[in-house]
């Protein structure tokens, strides 16, 4: 089935922790146009929060850099969300994506961000180059609209 991109939006913001809530609010507003269920919207907000937080705490650990957010919605009611940084990158993506894997030294991170993204979305793709940056692509298909 051919699917057309129906709407799109881009945003970029500095990697400051107060922008985690901002990113969730932006994505919510965008997805809201498609009438998602409460649980679909909560899944998307949570997955986006994980990816954006990772840019802030890992990619730009000791600096402030730019986080790039791109949103697209398609005629088949799928939503594609890209979260990109030009930070430190990931050496070994497969290990990083394992549940409980974390490079955090302060000890309050549980290493479950990728696990959350994977279980709350239909597709998760991670590409990364050490010292260049990381791109996380989340895809979620929303259920059919029911007449109400």
Partner 1 sequence: MDFENGSVKLTLDGETLWAHIRGEIDHHSAKSIREAIDTLLASSAPEALILELSGVTFMDSSGLGLVLGRYTKATEAGIAFSVTGATERITKMFDMAGLDRIIDYKERNTSK
Residues near partner 1 (CB under 8 A) are 17-18, 20-21, 24-25, 28-29, 39, 42, 45-46, 49-50, 53, 56-57, 107-110, 112-113, 115-116, 119
> What are the helix (H) ranges across the chain?
19-32, 38-54, 93-96, 113-120
Site string for ligand ATP, 55-74 (x = CB under 6 A): x--xx---------------
φ and ψ of 144, to 5 deg: -65, 150
Binding piece for ligand ATP, criterion CB under 6 A, among 2-10, 38-46, 54-62, 64-72: 54-62
User: Nearest-CA neighbor of 109 among 122, 96, 120?
Assistant: 96
φ and ψ of 133, to 5 deg: 140, 180
50 is catalytic: yes
Cα–Cα distance for residue pair 94/33, rounded to 1 Å: 35
91 is catalytic: no
Binding site for ligand ATP (CB under 6 A): 50, 54-55, 58-59, 85, 87-90, 96, 101-104, 109-114, 134
Catalytic residues: 50, 54, 109
């Amino acid at each position: 089935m051919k699917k057309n991109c129906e709407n799109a939006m881009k945003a970029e913001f500095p990697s400051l922790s107060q922008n985690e809530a901002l990113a969730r609010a932006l994505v919510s507003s965008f997805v809201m146009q498609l009438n998602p269920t409460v649980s679909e919207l909560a899944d998307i907000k949570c997955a986006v929060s994980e990816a954006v937080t990772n840019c802030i705490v890992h990619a730009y650990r000791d600096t402030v850099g730019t986080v790039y957010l791109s949103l697209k919605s398609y005629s088949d009611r799928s939503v594609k969300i890209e979260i990109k940084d030009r930070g430190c990158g990931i050496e070994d993506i497969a290990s990083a994506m394992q549940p409980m894997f974390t490079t955090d030294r302060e000890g309050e991170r549980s290493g479950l961000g990728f696990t959350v993204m994977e279980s709350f979305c239909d597709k998760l793709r991670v590409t990364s180059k050490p010292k260049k940056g990381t791109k996380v692509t989340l895809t979620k298909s929303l259920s059919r609209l029911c007449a109400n």
